Amino acid sequence: MLPTMSGKIDDPIDASYEVYPPEDPKGMGKTFTDLSLSFAGIVFTPAAILKVLKDQFWTANRFGRIEYLLNGFRLGFKQLESQASTDREKMKKIQERIEGPQFQESVAVACEEATRTTNTKKIDHFAMVLAGSLTPTQWSSEGEDIATLIRDLAQLGDRDIEVLEKLSLSFGGLMLTNPTLPSSLFTDNNAALDRIIEKESDRDEFYSTCGRLMGFGLATEVLWPMNHTQPHDKCIRPTRRGLSLLGYLGKFAR
């Protein structure tokens, strides 16, 4: 059972209730009509505007997304419990994490981010990270900030996760057998990444996505040795933080 939490999740979100209240007050229909947009025969109708507002701001929908998140976490937790039920020491550590302030903050942030998106796949990812964080991966740092990881994940798209996974696949076997991730491991073994990039239809877009991942601390660029005879375009690898995220999402070995 999740710890009891009190207080508002997020003031800006609570404030949105005042702008778009859960019930349609008298006269709101006319407001939606006034918001209708039309240009060159293309119309963004009041009904479409109302659907957007209801999907994003209506109380029932917002709390429905939180319920969806917690149900996803419950499924992940049950699976974890079945795997660790015979290990009393492991269960004790899981319980300590659940009762800790860091995990409570992570749950609050995940609920907050769930209310901000209508993308159920993204909410699934939040739930997976929450459940996975109860048993850190081999890539997780001491005192890993799961709340911040979830906030970052909320800003990532499917393409970001896809490219991060491709980076991990390029060096997967090497990273698993060399968990200290020495620079030479990547600069001397970049052929797999080259093959992946060659299949990309837009290299600029691929490297742009890599840049986004580096901005979130999920990937990094390893400099080539000055005496390297055949330098590649770039040598980009996942960071331990990036591998930790992929581990929680079931896209890399934990």
Residues 6+ apart with CB under 8 A from 128: 72, 76, 248, 249, 250
Domain-wise residue ranges, the chain:
59-154, 158-248
* Residue 144 confidence (pLDDT): 92
> Is the predicted pLDDT of residue 65 greater than 70, yes or no?
yes
CA distances from 179 to 105, 168, 237, 240, 243 (A): 29, 13, 13, 9, 11
For range 80-96, the mean pLDDT: 86
Per-residue confidence (pLDDT) for residue 233, from 0 to 100: 62
d(CA 222, CA 214): 11
Residue 119, phi-psi category: left (phi > 0), alpha (psi -120 to 50), beta (remainder): beta
Q: Mean of the pLDDT values across residues 25-35?
A: 53
Mean pLDDT to the nearest integer, 123-141: 94
What is the rounded average pLDDT for all residues in the chain? 81
Architecture of domain 158-248: Orthogonal Bundle (1.10)
- The residue ranking higher by pLDDT, 197 or 26, is 197
User: Is pLDDT at 231 greater than 60 in this prediction?
Assistant: no
Who contacts 159 (Cβ-Cβ below 8 Å, separation ≥6)? 209
Q: What is the biggest distance separating any 2 CA atoms in the chain, rounded to whole angstroms?
A: 74
Strand segments (E) across the chain = 37-39, 42-44, 219-221, 236-238
Backbone dihedral region of 27: left (phi > 0), alpha (psi from -120 to 50 degrees) or beta?
Answer: left
Is residue 146 within 8 A of residue 103, CB to CB? The reply is yes
Q: Which residues contact 210 (CB under 8 A, 6 or more apart)?
A: 163, 167, 219, 221, 234, 236
Which pLDDT belongs to residue 228? Answer: 52
Q: Which DSSP letter does residue 134 get?
A: T
Q: How far apart are CA 151 and CA 79, in angstroms?
A: 25
pLDDT of res. 107: 94
CA–CA gap between residue 228 and residue 188 (Å, rounded): 9
* 41 pLDDT tier (thresholds 50, 70, 90): low
**pLDDT per residue as tens digits for the range 101-115:** 999 999 999 999 999
Instruction: In whole angstroms, give the CA distance from residue 98 to residue 1.
Output: 9
The pLDDT > 90 percentage for the chain reads 44
pLDDT at 19 over 70: no
The mean pLDDT of 122-145, rounded to a whole number, is 93
pLDDT at residue 206 in the model: 94
pTM of this structure = 0.76
Q: Coil, strand, or helix at residue 122?
A: helix
Q: Is 12 within 8 Å of 23 (Cβ atoms)?
A: no
Task: Provide the residue count of the chain.
Answer: 254
